[in-house]
Amino acid sequence: MTFCNPFDEALARSGLAAVFLLDREGLLRFDATWTRDAWGREPGPHAAGEGWLLFRDHQTGFVTLALVTSPTLVPSWPRADVRRFGTQAEAEAARAAFGVPPVTREPW
């Protein structure tokens, strides 16, 4: 895992349930909007532990990779289908299978 800066890495390691998305350089960056949205639907308490998720947007079919620092933070997502993976490599390989850009019209 490569984070965009030391703050984001410290936040990910702190145990607080949060969502991290890839930035334009392909580095993991804390996303306040996605995290607040998730906390609003699942206020916790949250178990500690990282997980790798793919989100398939219902409208566009675009597939987004995310790191979550709790397995209980994102059980589902109202605007996307969610798939869970055990490792970053597994999630990245699954996303790459959708092509460039990673888009699939088929619901999961």
Mean pLDDT of 37-54: 95
Structural domain including 11 reads 6-96
**Token reading at 77:** 């997502």
Cα–Cα distance, 44 to 2 (Å, whole number): 27
Q: Determine, yes or no, domain membership for 1.
A: no
Residue 108's pLDDT is: 83
The amino acid occupying position 83 is R
Q: Determine, yes or no, domain membership for 101.
A: no
Mean pLDDT of 11-20: 94
Q: Determine, yes or no, domain membership for 108.
A: no
Cα–Cα distance, 56 to 35 (Å, whole number): 17
Q: Determine, yes or no, domain membership for 107.
A: no
Q: Determine, yes or no, domain membership for 77.
A: yes
Q: What is the mean pLDDT of the chain?
A: 96
Q: Residue 15 pLDDT > 90, yes or no?
A: no
Q: Determine, yes or no, domain membership for 106.
A: no
Task: Provide the domain count of the chain.
Answer: 1
